[in-house]
Structure formats: structure tokens, C-alpha cells
Amino acid sequence: MDYLLLVSAFFIGSLVSFFLIPTIVKIAHLKSLMDEPGGRKAHVNPIPPMGGLAIMLGTLASTMLMTQVEIDPRFLIVVFSAITFMMIGLGDDLIAMSARRKGFFQFIMICVVVWSGVRIESLFGLLGITDLPVIVQLGLTIVFITGLTNAYNLIDGIDGLAAGIGIIASIALGIAFLLVGSMSFALLSFGLAGGLMGFLGHNFNPAKIFMGDTGSLPVGFLLAVLSVEFLKISHGLGMMTGMHNFGPVILFALLAVPVMDTLQVMIGRMIRGRSPFSADRNHIHHLLLACGLSVMYATLALYTYTLGLVGLVLAGFFMGISNQTILVIIFFFALASVIGLHGYRSYRRRKYLEALAEPAAAPHVKMIHMKKVKGKAS
């Protein structure tokens, strides 16, 4: 019965989202609500940016199945907050809200959710830390939800990337909630995965619609909240599976792409003496494109990378490797991957400049580091 509810939630979310998008696209064209090309953007035609409306409506439609299960008291607060995040994103897509105003509204809603009981209460032995004082729980949870919400927003840079990573993470979290009987959050996870899947049918390269902040903010927020709840139930799940205190490690693997991407771009900007919040083309997806991959293959590479990290974590557990050792391994693997991409991009640029320096060769040189790609890469 539980499995049937989750499958139903996924398909309801998928169908509602998929069939709503053509209407949203049509309205966006009629009202000229388009993401125009230019600047750091690589798409050459105006594209509607409000696919998040379909994602969230699909997700919300799937919550009708909540009448079949015992509802967690925090669930309604989480859903209301996600709707508020969608409205914040919609406002930004339509009228370009200031970062300060957008951040203020986000902070208020995150505080409401944390007040409701969504908190990181323990690190389950990670770095030798177990239970946390209440004040640390509150501060850490606010920072975590804020950081992950905006990190997810930042990876929405090429067709299909944010949606695909969201699908992988939400399905994995949904399975975990199912195993411990937390059906409210399991249904929300599968409903979200369904909403993202329906959207991906129109967003995979070449995209007909973008997620926009209308989608990336509420989806990132929901993934952050679901991650906090996953940490809470991971101890019980570990007792069932024999993989004790594995929550933080598997969570890092699932979310490595947005987390590592945000860390590396912000650190890189500060090293260069720039604001960590300034814009550039140093995100992981930009690096893959500069290394010669198409938008489609860059997206698929990051899907595979995420699944590979999860597989690496599971293999480590089955081999009896400690949580701390696994975390160190995947962190340095992710770090080496980022450094390698930066290095290869620099190598390609150097080869291009060397070729330009040879007059006879210059007319025949292709701009390999500026390869034009179809799709979104902003």
C-alpha cells in the first residue's frame, strides 16, 4: 500500500507538471515574460523562465494523497513555506527583486520552519560530534537551509542540470523516509521528484522552458528541509541496514554538485579579490562546457558523477570503511575533480593562445575554449 502511494505521488506530480508547462509557455509568450539572451547567457532565443510554477503545482497536487497517511505536524508549515519561496522566486523572475529583500524574506520563512522543529540535532559521530546544544541546532540549521537553497539555485545554469540532481536526491531521500515509516515526508519527496520529472521533459536540452527562481528557490528549500529530516531518521535507518551514522556522508554525496560548486566559486572569487557573490563563468557546468562538452553531455556527466559518489559511499560502507574516512575520500575526490577541470580549461586556453601566436596557423584555429553550445549556460 505504501509503495503504491509513493508511485501515485510521483506520477501525479509528473503528469500535472508536464501538462501544465505548454500553457505556461504560451502565457509567457503572450505576456512577453521571457528570459532574454545576452550577457553571460548562452541561449540565443528568449525562453520562458517560470517552469517552477509547474514543478510546485505538480508537487502540491501529489500532496492530496496525504489524506491516506498520518500527517506530520510540521508538514503543513513546510509546504506553506515552500509556496512562499515560490512566490519570492516568481517576484524575482518578474520584477528582479533586490538580493537584500529576497534574502530577508527567505530568512523569515527559514526561521519559521526551524521554529516548527525542523532542526539538525546531532552530527551522529561525524568529527566526533554527537548531540548539539539547542542554540547550535538553531544556528546550524538556518545556515544549512539557507546555504543549500541558494547553492541549488546556482547550479540552475544549463538545461536539465538542477532538475536531474533534484530528482536523484529527492528519490533517494524518499526511499529512506519510506524505510522508517515517515510517510508524510516520503510522499513529499516522491511528489517533488515527480514535479521535477515532468518539468525535465520540457527542460532537457534543448530546453523549451527554464526553472527560474520560481522553481530553484522552493525546490532547493524543500531539498534542504528534507535533508534535515533525513539526518534525524538516519540513526534509525542505520540500525535497520547496519550502516550506522551514515546520514551526513550519504547526504554529502547526494548534494556534492551544488555544495562543491558553491564552495569552489566563492573561494575562487575571494582569492581573486572579488566579492564571493559576484557573477562569473567558473561554475562546474561552465568548466565542463569550456572543456569541450556539449550542454547535454555536461548535464549527463554531472548526473553520473552524483550517482558515482553515492555508489562510492555505499561501497565504502559494505567494505567496512569508517564514516570519517569515506567522507574524506569523497571530499578529496570532489576537490580533485574541480581542480582538474580548472586545470584542463587553462590548458585548452593556453593551447589556443599558442596557436594564435603562429601567424600561419591562426586562420585555421577554432576557438575551442569558447565553443558555442545550444541551451542555457548562465
Q: Is residue 118 exposed (0-12), middle (13-18) or buried (19+ Cβ within 10 Å)? A: buried
Q: Is residue 122 part of a domain?
A: yes
Q: Is residue 295 part of a domain?
A: no
Q: Is residue 16 part of a domain?
A: yes
How does residue 42 score in pLDDT terms, banded at 50, 70 and 90? low
Mean pLDDT of 274-290: 89
Give residue 243's pLDDT.
Answer: 67
Mean pLDDT of 21-33: 91
How does residue 244 score in pLDDT terms, banded at 50, 70 and 90? low
Mean pLDDT of 175-200: 94
Q: Is residue 221 part of a domain?
A: yes
Residue 240 has pLDDT above 70, yes or no: no
Q: Is residue 297 part of a domain?
A: no
Residue 356 has pLDDT above 90, yes or no: no
Give residue 40's pLDDT.
Answer: 60
- C-alpha distances out from residue 16 to 102, 187, 277, Å: 28, 16, 35
Q: Is residue 377 part of a domain?
A: no
Give residue 239's pLDDT.
Answer: 62
Number of separate domains in the chain: 1
Give residue 74's pLDDT.
Answer: 86
Mean pLDDT of 43-63: 89
Give residue 373's pLDDT.
Answer: 46
How does residue 242 score in pLDDT terms, banded at 50, 70 and 90? low
How does residue 351 score in pLDDT terms, banded at 50, 70 and 90? confident
Number of residues assigned to the chain? 378
**Among 26, 20, 5, which residue's Cα sits nearest to residue 57?**
20
Q: Is residue 287 part of a domain?
A: no
Q: Is residue 270 exposed (0-12), middle (13-18) or buried (19+ Cβ within 10 Å)? A: exposed
**pLDDT (tens digit per residue) in 194-230:** 999 999 999 998 999 999 999 999 999 999 999 999 9
Task: Domain of residue 34: give its range.
Answer: 2-244
Mean pLDDT of 265-292: 90
**pLDDT (tens digit per residue) in 127-136:** 777 788 999 9
Q: Is residue 9 part of a domain?
A: yes
How many whole angstroms separate alpha carbon 227 and alpha carbon 363?
53
Of residues 150 and 359, the one with the higher pLDDT is 150
As a whole number, the mean pLDDT across the chain is 87
Predicted model pTM:
0.90
**pLDDT (tens digit per residue) in 111-161:** 999 999 999 998 877 777 778 899 999 999 999 999 999 999 999 989 999
